[in-house]
Chains A and B, each alone.
Chain A
Amino acid sequence: MTAAPEHTPTMVRRSVSELIVPFTPFCLVIFLICAGYLAIGIPSSWMTLTLSGLAMGMMYFIMSTGLTLVFGLMDVINFGHGAFVSLGAFVGVTVLLQLGAFSESPVLWQNIAAVLLSICAAMAVCAAVGWGFERLIVRPVYGSHLNQILVTMGGLIVAEQLIIVFWGPEEIYFSRPEMLKGSTEILGATVEKFRVLVVSLGLAIFAIMRWVLRRTKIGLIVRAGVEDREMVMALGYRLRLVFVAVFIAGSALAGFGGAVWGMYQEVITAHMGNQALILIFIVVIIGGLGSVEGCFIGALMVGLMQNYVAFLAPKFALLSNIGLMVAILMWRPMGMIPVVKAK
């Protein structure tokens, strides 16, 4: 940040409503949690469901945040994003199984180290593959949404098949590190330990992303580029390079999300990314294409909604999220935190 000019700048007075409006999406999450409490009625169940909803929400956030930026920045619709979720899960779980000594040890820090190392491996592999994916598959189809959809979907299918070639067609069952199994009591509610870890990781990622987007030059370029690509270039920035970096980071994060999701479920399949893709798209659309904050809130709402509805009316779980999307789009057609686009 540049230092403020010597004279203190006068802040413009704004009315209370103007100050609150930007936060309505955040309030919606709180509102949803309260509504869940009223609907469920049993505090301990509500607490368990809320935590598990938040944990799933965090995973959705990690998996979708790259997609929203890639679309916001370059108007690229990337169905291949789901492939990185599967790939991350397979790489992460493979490494976790290799780290058997750490992961079976009864020492908490060793368990957590095993998890973090697996995540890092998943991110590294997904970053490298993301780089190649951008060059070979995405770059030739700039500017044409139809081609992007067809080609990146093709990429997704090929990637799934490649995973099957390397790891076999069977689902892989495994168990989580020793100390992260089972649950513990917090304020009278049973919470799974792994969910606490997932929520912490999600919050950390969100905080880091916010920091990068608000405080660093590359973050400024990304935020500005989402609004008006041409102007960022006219100021003198090679947006292409920034986009490649964002694509790689987004793929790595999808891998992160996939690895965590795999460990959460304790089973992985080559199709898990494909299955997650629907929810990822719902999250990104609810949040507002190109908005990381919107994506975060959208992901939490989808996660919570899914858990509450699965408890209250199990048949409607996926339907509820589509309903949520329709309701939000009726309220704000460009998503909860609409991104102001130039032109």
Chain B
Amino acid sequence: MQSEPILELDGVYTDIGQYHILRGVDLHVPRSTVTMLLGRNGVGKTTTLRSIIGHWRARQGFIRYDGMDITKMPTAEIARAGIGYVPEQMGVFADLTVEENMRLAAVSGPINSARLDWIFSVFPALKTFWFAPAGNLSGGQKQMLSIARAMIEERKLYLIDEPTKGLAPAIVSTMARALADLKRQGAAILLVEQNFAVAKALGDFADVMDDGHVIWSGAMSRLSESDELQQKLMGLSLAGN
């Protein structure tokens, strides 16, 4: 069982309205590893994560998680099976305080204080603003809260969508350290990331998407070593990094 991937997408087709956005996504996320989901803007990375958590429904294909078929499972049950989701827009509840956001994220009971201590050590800002409305946080702090919410209970898999987008370099490295910490704890992460330095530092495996399906998949090191491959798979979007 342990060698089986924690997450497996098999020929997933997802439509948004009348548009065919995903056209047969095949994807494996091995346990306890970081798998990067890469590709230019608009190729369907976010749609892939949303299809996994059940916000969009696959029209065709299968999504298996930890030995279960979750393709048609209600979103709430998918989450409770141990998937933490950090959406691209962060999904922070602005009207709730940081504390309330965290308490809500602790689905199965009161907040575990050991985990909370760990989170505070990774993101000290959250402790400072514990009783402040989350709407008053800066963009970086909201991102921290969004990840912290996913971390507050034990998960087998994290789906994290562009956690460093638009953040100052200092905060990017805080984020990267947090994700490295998560990985050390033994969770698997499916990470969408445009910052190639971060991707290179964290990723074990990479899947590159284009036009609604995965066009390349392999070890992250192979991709990061070969400029030619990057150029071919992702065009100029990574050259700047």
List chain A positions with a Cβ less than 8 A from chain B.
1-2, 4-5, 7, 9-12, 217, 220-221, 223-224, 226-228, 230-239, 339-340, 342-343
The 3 closest A-B pairs by CB, nearest first: A231-B91, A236-B79, A236-B107
Q: Does B222 contact A (CB under 8 A)?
A: no
Q: Does B216 contact A (CB under 8 A)?
A: no
Q: Does B111 contact A (CB under 8 A)?
A: yes
Verify A220–B76 contact, CB threshold 8 A.
Answer: no
Residues of A within 8 A of B96 (CB): 220, 223-224, 227
Residues of A within 8 A of B102 (CB): 2
Verify B132–A235 contact, CB threshold 8 A.
Answer: no
Residues of A within 8 A of B111 (CB): 2
Verify A235–B149 contact, CB threshold 8 A.
Answer: yes
Residues of A within 8 A of B54 (CB): 233
Residues of A within 8 A of B110 (CB): 2
- A9, A10, A12, A221 pick with most chain B CB within 10 angstroms: A9
Q: Beyond A5-B116, A224-B93, A342-B91, is A234–B107 a contact (Cβ under 8 Å)?
A: no
Among the stretches B19-27, B123-131, B232-240, the one at the interface with A is B123-131
Q: Does B200 contact A (CB under 8 A)?
A: no
- Select B95's contact among A7, A221, A223, A234, beta carbons within 8 Å: A223
Residues of A within 8 A of B76 (CB): 233, 236-239
Q: Does B89 contact A (CB under 8 A)?
A: yes
Q: Which residue of chain B has the shortest Cβ distance to A233 in the bound complex?
A: B75
Q: Beyond A9-B128, A9-B131, A223-B96, is A342–B107 a contact (Cβ under 8 Å)?
A: no
- Select A231's contact among B87, B103, B130, beta carbons within 8 Å: B87
Q: Beyond A5-B130, A234-B53, is A220–B75 a contact (Cβ under 8 Å)?
A: no
Residues of A within 8 A of B128 (CB): 9-10, 12
Residues of A within 8 A of B105 (CB): 235
Q: How far is the CA of A62 from the CA of B36 in the complex (A)?
A: 52
Q: Which residue of chain A has the shortest Cβ distance to B105 in the bound complex?
A: A235
Verify B95–A340 contact, CB threshold 8 A.
Answer: yes
Residues of B within 8 A of A4 (CB): 130-131
- Select B120's contact among A5, A236, A239, beta carbons within 8 Å: A5
Q: How far is the CA of A32 from the CA of B123 in the complex (A)?
A: 46
Q: How far is the CA of A226 from the CA of B94 in the complex (A)?
A: 11
Verify A9–B129 contact, CB threshold 8 A.
Answer: yes
Q: How far is the CA of A5 from the CA of B148 in the complex (A)?
A: 15
Q: Which residue of chain A has the shortest Cβ distance to B107 in the bound complex?
A: A236
Verify A1–B99 contact, CB threshold 8 A.
Answer: yes
Q: How far is the CA of A339 from the CA of B111 in the complex (A)?
A: 27
Extra pairs beyond A2-B110, A9-B131 (11, CB < 8 Å): A2-B99, A2-B111, A5-B120, A9-B130, A12-B132, A221-B104, A223-B93, A226-B95, A232-B104, A234-B53, A235-B105
Q: Beyond A11-B131, A12-B129, is A234–B100 a contact (Cβ under 8 Å)?
A: no
Residues of B within 8 A of A232 (CB): 104
Q: Which residue of chain B has the shortest Cβ distance to A12 in the bound complex?
A: B132
CB distance from A177 to the nearest CB of B (A): 41
Verify B95–A339 contact, CB threshold 8 A.
Answer: yes
Q: Which residue of chain B has the shortest Cβ distance to A341 in the bound complex?
A: B94
- Select B107's contact among A226, A237, A343, beta carbons within 8 Å: A237
Residues of A within 8 A of B79 (CB): 233-236
Verify A234–B120 contact, CB threshold 8 A.
Answer: no
- Select B91's contact among A223, A228, A238, A340, beta carbons within 8 Å: A228
Verify B127–A234 contact, CB threshold 8 A.
Answer: no
Residues of A within 8 A of B93 (CB): 223-224, 227-228, 231
- B54, B74, B100, B110 pick with most chain A CB within 10 angstroms: B100
Q: Which residue of chain B has the shortest Cβ distance to A340 in the bound complex?
A: B94
CB distance from B128 to the nearest CB of A (A): 6
Q: How far is the CA of A10 from the CA of B136 in the complex (A)?
A: 14
Q: How far is the CA of A235 from the CA of B75 in the complex (A)?
A: 9
Q: Does B135 contact A (CB under 8 A)?
A: yes
Q: How far is the CA of A220 from the CA of B130 in the complex (A)?
A: 16
Q: How far is the CA of A230 from the CA of B86 in the complex (A)?
A: 12
Verify B99–A7 contact, CB threshold 8 A.
Answer: no
Q: Beyond A9-B128, A12-B129, is A2–B95 a contact (Cβ under 8 Å)?
A: no
- Select B75's contact among A11, A226, A234, beta carbons within 8 Å: A234
Residues of B within 8 A of A2 (CB): 99, 102-103, 110-111, 116
- Select A238's contact among B74, B99, B135, beta carbons within 8 Å: B74
Verify B107–A230 contact, CB threshold 8 A.
Answer: no
Verify B131–A234 contact, CB threshold 8 A.
Answer: no
Residues of B within 8 A of A228 (CB): 91, 93
Verify B136–A12 contact, CB threshold 8 A.
Answer: yes
CB distance from B150 to the nearest CB of A (A): 9
Q: Does B72 contact A (CB under 8 A)?
A: no
Q: Does B85 contact A (CB under 8 A)?
A: yes
CB distance from A7 to the nearest CB of B (A): 7
Q: Binary interface profile of B, 98-123, with partner A (CB < 8 Å = 1, else 0)?
A: 01111111010011000011001000
CB distance from A103 to the nearest CB of B (A): 43
Verify A234–B130 contact, CB threshold 8 A.
Answer: no
Q: Which residue of chain A has the shortest Cβ distance to B108 in the bound complex?
A: A236
Verify B104–A224 contact, CB threshold 8 A.
Answer: yes
CB distance from B74 to the nearest CB of A (A): 7
Q: Which residue of chain B has the shortest Cβ distance to A227 in the bound complex?
A: B93
Q: Does B55 contact A (CB under 8 A)?
A: yes
Residues of B within 8 A of A10 (CB): 128
